[in-house]
Structure 1
Amino acid sequence: MIDKLKQIEIKFHQIEEKLTDPEIIGDHKRYADLNREYKELKEIVDISREYINMLDSKEVAQQMIDDSDPELKEMGEMEMESITEKLEELEGEIKVLLLPKDPDDHKDVIMEIRSGAGGDEASIFAGDLYRMYSKYFETKGWKHEILFVNEGTAGGYNKIEFEVSGESIYGFLKFESGAHRVQRVPKTESQGRVHTSAATVVVMPKLEMEDVDIKKSDLKVDTFRSSGAGGQHVNKTESGVRFTHLPTGVVSESTDGRSQIKNREIALQRLYQKIYESQKQSYESEQAAKRKSLVGSGDRSDKIRTYNYPQNRVTDHRINLTLYSLDKIIEGDLDEVIENLRIYENTEKMKELE
């Protein structure tokens, strides 16, 4: 492990030097990528330096233990106990930091929440989930922008789509994809009976052109007049945008935004996602035999979590986690849930490496 840590430190200094190069500073994309890698390596380097210092302290403590002076020997034994405990802690942290990372973890995300089974109550629950996530974003200092809204007739949303931006967003939110189930007495229920309703959440990494093998020359762009919700402007302007990827025939369009510029952005992002998913699926099929993770599968049919209001209980079914703090979680206190999912994912990765 020491050799690996030394190699990382060499790479860290190489990147540190590159970040002062005027040519790289002028290339925003390259500078941002290098700066992100620099921050990730710095975290490992800081801990590895502390670890190496502890190893030196361990040698000194051993020399004290080997000394003929009883008092010095006792001091050395006490010091060794403390150092050994700290070394074990640092080794655990380093192992986690050295685990292979999801290449999408650092990306911003596009999130979609849809009402599922349960009628009006499902739409209300979708609204509660959006509010929960919004409050969680605030605690993290992340920004979000609504891309599309279709409100429910009794409140909440039939569908809401939004973009979340900040640092390492996907690495935290990828675990939220799947079916969320709620058990409570609906506002629309006059008999006071507990009902079960559901909403689905999809979390997708926001992709850039560089992430997907798409050439601009392979794209055909069409504009058309929108139809449906959105106000009178839909019949007056060609705000709808459709992209066709000529080599594959993949088509993506959007009429969700109120302007052609916004629809162009949404449609292009959807096209990236479709082609990216196709490319990723072929890669993951090769890796399927190696690992089938329960976390972050993104399958809408997966019942990942239940919110039980009568018992103030939240259960994440993937990792058998039950917390009796629904009142706090629904107000955006998601840290404990997400941290447990991250720990589970890292534990599974460690098992694979053993």
Structure 2
Amino acid sequence: MKPSIVAKLEALHERHEEVQALLGDAGIIADQDRFRALSREYAQLSDVSRCFTDWQQVQDDIETAQMMLDDPEMREMAQEELREAKEKSEQLEQQLQVLLLPKDPDDERTRSLRFAPALAATKPRCLPAICSACTAVMPKRAAGVWRS
């Protein structure tokens, strides 16, 4: 991963920890508007911070496995761990790239479909197709990846 991206992720992780500390402050809790704003920011940063922490752990695992490659008795196990850690690292990097994409302000808005009276008869046939098409392209928020 590029050093500039790692620096950005470190800054976001530090901000996440800072916001977490602020949310425990009695003065912030008393100011409901500030508390609400910080709670939203904390929620937005949580996925990135968690994924970045996992990525850092995997990088440590890769480093450890590479050191174990020097030991002839541990070489086979180290190669297997290294392969698994590199795969996991690639997955986490992809998730982080998706999580770093700018959010669309329209994502939070509710959408509705209206059928013209003349088309009301086709509504029962069209609605399942429309719903499945919309669901297919909705982001899966928990993992930060697109459904296929």
The two structures share one fold, judged by TM-score above 0.5: yes
Alignment-derived partner of residue 61 in structure 2:
57
> Once the two structures are superposed, what CA deviation does each residue of 1:187-237 show, in whole Å capped at 9, x if it has no partner?
xxxxxxxxxxxxxxxxxxxxxxxxxxxxxxxxxxxxxxxxxxxxxxxxxxx
Q: Distance in 2 between matches of 1:100 and 1:20?
A: 28
> Once the two structures are superposed, what CA deviation does each residue of 1:297-319 show, in whole Å capped at 9, x if it has no partner?
xxxxxxxxxx38xxxx72x6xxx
> Once the two structures are superposed, what CA deviation does each residue of 1:140-191 show, in whole Å capped at 9, x if it has no partner?
xxxxxxxxxxxxxxxxxxxxxxxxxxxxxxxxxxxxxxxxxx4xxxxxxxxx
Higher helix fraction: Structure 1 or Structure 2?
A: 2
Q: Distance in 1 between matches of 2:26 and 2:55?
A: 34
Structure-2 change in CA distance of 1:83 and 1:121 (3 Å): same
**Which protein has greater RCO, CA pairs closer than 8 Å, 6+ apart?**
2
Residue identity matched to 1:98: L
Match for residue 12 of structure 2 among 1, 8, 13: 8
> Once the two structures are superposed, what CA deviation does each residue of 1:117-139 show, in whole Å capped at 9, x if it has no partner?
625526xx3xx6xxxxxxxxxxx
1:40 aligns with 2:44: yes
Residue identity matched to 1:118: A
Q: Distance in 2 between matches of 1:31 and 1:77?
A: 48
Structure with higher Rg: it is: 1
Q: Distance in 2 between matches of 1:339 and 1:51?
A: 28
Residue identity matched to 2:16: F
By how many angstroms is 1:28 displaced?
A: 2.4
Match for residue 90 of structure 2 among 80, 88, 91: 88
Alignment-derived partner of residue 114 in structure 1:
114
Secondary structure class of the residue paired with 1:66: coil
By how many angstroms is 1:32 displaced?
A: 1.6
Match for residue 137 of structure 2 among 335, 340, 351: 340
Work out the number of aligned pairs and report it.
Answer: 138
Q: Distance in 1 between matches of 2:99 and 2:50?
A: 11
1:99 aligns with 2:95: no
The 5 Å alignment of 1:11-22 reads 11-22=15-26
Structure-2 change in CA distance of 1:106 and 1:341 (3 Å): closer
Residue identity matched to 2:39: N
1:66 aligns with 2:99: no
Q: Distance in 2 between matches of 1:341 and 1:114?
A: 20
Q: C-alpha root-mean-square deviation of aligned residues, in Å?
A: 2.9
Match for residue 27 of structure 1 among 28, 31, 44: 31
Q: Distance in 2 between matches of 1:105 and 1:80?
A: 38
By how many angstroms is 1:61 displaced?
A: 0.8
Alignment-derived partner of residue 76 in structure 1:
78
Q: Distance in 2 between matches of 1:16 and 1:81?
A: 35
Q: Distance in 1 between matches of 2:49 and 2:86?
A: 20
By how many angstroms is 1:22 displaced?
A: 2.9
Structure 1: runs of 5+ lacking an equivalent: 129-181, 183-306, 317-328, 348-354
Residue identity matched to 2:79: E
Residue identity matched to 1:121: A
Q: Distance in 2 between matches of 1:59 and 1:46?
A: 20
Structure 2: runs of 5+ lacking an equivalent: none
> Percent of aligned positions with the same letter in both sequences?
29
The 5 Å alignment of 1:1-354 reads 1-67=5-71, 69=72, 71-106=73-108, 109=110, 112-116=112-116, 118=118, 121=121, 125=123, 182=125, 307=126, 314=129, 337-342=134-139
